[in-house]
Amino acid sequence: MKFEIWHIILLVAFILNVVVSIFIFRRDSLDRFQKISQIVIVWLIPFIAAIGIWLFHRSDEDDSSGSGPIGGGSSDSIGTQ
């Protein structure tokens, strides 16, 4: 049997889907319906959905706070004191 490039692509897609499915399954912030729906989407649209959903949830876990509040606080925009 000849090992072709599409075998590698299918193997990578399968491994990626399994890893992301496990990642979604272990999330406590999702209810059962959300977990099942997202896992089904990952398997229906292999690369794009798996990477997109994983990145979405990874950004949700980011606990780093920004440098300050949005808008920059109170400042005089017309230059008078």
Residue 9: inside a domain? yes
Q: pLDDT by residue (tens digit) across 1-14? A: 677 888 888 898 89
What domain range is 14 assigned to? 5-60
What's the structural domain count of the chain?
Answer: 1
Q: Which tokens belong to 5?
A: 């490039």
Question: What average pLDDT does this structure show over 19-39?
Answer: 91
66 versus 48: the higher-pLDDT residue is 48
Residue 17 makes CB contacts below 8 A (sequence gap 6+) with 42, 43, 46, 50
**65, pLDDT greater than 60:** no
Q: What does pTM read for this prediction?
A: 0.60
**68, pLDDT greater than 80:** no
Residue 46: inside a domain? yes
Residue 71: inside a domain? no
